[in-house]
């Protein structure tokens, strides 16, 4: 099948959308958008972000859209439309592309996302999937990383650690939960946990100009950590494993207390895991409090190395 035949295959399986007057098949798509749009992009690389033989192409396609949806969730936004670009291995690329699309279609249908175009190439390397997702803010506006204040409570939307044992492929992005929280409380700041709790909390603290202390005994630890014991402690996994894709939320103590007591989001157990403090000597610092006291916390999550 040629690239043109593949585009026809895609068009036949892409439902019409009133927000997309021009979709697949033209040099550009046309999208009806509000004055302010949210735009994010993520690239997945075979061998780094997934092992194709273990995961299978449909789960990889699903993850490629899910990680972008998680970014929209971190802003408490509404996803609208996606552009998908593929770098396919020359052999077996067609069947691979079809399965990738079907995996994306599953989440696109669940979250009302129009797949409006992209690009497809073949080469002598492994699979590369890049998704660009467009969204829009809710009426309360986008939630940024930079609004946390000293005294704010730090809440998390679910268990942490052990994502490599399946969750990183099969998670459901917290889009609806973020919107519900945004409608329920004044969210000062928010971020999704993609690079590890400590690393992403450090990003939030730096953007907000605050320090933060985590309570070791309060951290909810995923069942997968106990199910796959290794040389690292459960706490270490919860602090530093990446791709949990839960949300870290900064709220006032009053809102935090109310959210913890009422648990207003169905299917989500909000947990208070720490608190924000003023920056120390102008520096945003992380600390961990456990049964032995407090000590500095050094982030050890995922960071892409550039040489």
CATH superfamily of domain region 153-296: PurM-like C-terminal domain (3.90.650.10)
CA gap 303, 183 in Å, rounded? 33
**Domain 3-137 classification at class level:** alpha beta
In whole angstroms, how far apart are CA 162 and each of 20, 235, 270? 39, 11, 19
CA gap 267, 12 in Å, rounded? 35
DSSP string, 235-249: HHHHHH------EEE
Residues spanned by CATH 3.90.650.10 within the chain?
Answer: 153-296
* Pick from 106, 90, 13: nearest CA to 58: 106
Identify the helix (H) or strand (E) that includes residue 44.
strand 38-45
- Cβ proximity of 144 and 55 under 8 Å: no
CA gap 119, 104 in Å, rounded? 15
Task: Give the pLDDT confidence score for residue 107 in this predicted structure.
Answer: 97
Residue 189 C-beta-side C-alpha neighbours within 13 Å: 25
Residues spanned by CATH 3.30.1330.10 within the chain?
Answer: 3-137
CA gap 268, 182 in Å, rounded? 14
Beta strand 286-290 with 293-296 is antiparallel
CA gap 93, 87 in Å, rounded? 9
Digitized pLDDT (tens) for each residue of the chain, 307 residues in all: 667 778 788 888 888 899 999 888 788 989 998 889 999 999 999 998 999 999 999 999 999 999 999 999 999 999 999 999 999 998 888 899 999 999 999 999 999 999 999 999 999 999 999 999 999 999 889 999 999 999 999 999 999 999 999 999 999 999 999 999 999 999 999 999 999 999 999 999 999 999 999 999 999 999 999 999 999 999 999 999 999 999 999 999 999 999 999 999 999 999 999 999 999 888 899 999 999 999 999 998 666 554 5
């Amino acid at each position: 099948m040629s690239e043109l035949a593949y585009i026809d295959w895609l068009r036949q399986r892409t439902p019409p959308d009133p927000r997309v007057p021009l979709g697949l098949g033209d040099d550009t798509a046309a999208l009806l958008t509000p004055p302010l749009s949210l735009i994010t992009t993520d690239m997945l690389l075979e061998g780094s972000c997934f092992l194709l033989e273990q995961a299978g192409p449909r789960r990889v396609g699903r993850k490629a859209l899910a990680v972008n949806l998680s970014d929209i969730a971190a802003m408490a936004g509404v996803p609208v439309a996606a552009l998908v670009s593929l770098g396919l291995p020359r052999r077996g690329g067609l069947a691979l592309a079809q399965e990738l699309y079907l995996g994306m279609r599953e989440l696109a249908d669940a979250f009302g996302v129009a797949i409006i175009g992209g690009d497809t190439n073949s080469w002598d390397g492994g699979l590369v999937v890049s998704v660009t997702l467009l969204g829009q803010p809710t009426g309360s506006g986008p939630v940024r990383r930079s609004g946390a204040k000293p005294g704010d409570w730090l809440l998390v939307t679910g268990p942490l650690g052990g994502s490599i044992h399946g969750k990183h492929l099969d998670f459901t992005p917290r889009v609806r939960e973020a919107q519900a929280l945004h409608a329920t409380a004044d969210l000062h700041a928010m971020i999704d946990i993609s690079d590890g709790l400590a690393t992403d909390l450090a990003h939030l603290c730096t953007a907000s100009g605050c320090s933060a202390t985590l309570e070791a005994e309060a951290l909810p630890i995923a069942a997968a950590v106990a199910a796959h014991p290794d040389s690292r402690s459960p706490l270490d996994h919860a602090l530093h494993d990446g791709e949990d894709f839960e949300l870290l939320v900064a709220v006032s103590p009053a809102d935090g207390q109310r959210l913890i007591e009422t648990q207003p989001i169905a299917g989500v157990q909000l947990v208070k895991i720490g608190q924000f403090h003023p920056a120390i000597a102008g520096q945003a610092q992380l600390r961990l409090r456990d049964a032995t006291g407090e000590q500095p916390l050094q982030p050890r999550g995922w960071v892409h190395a550039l040489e």
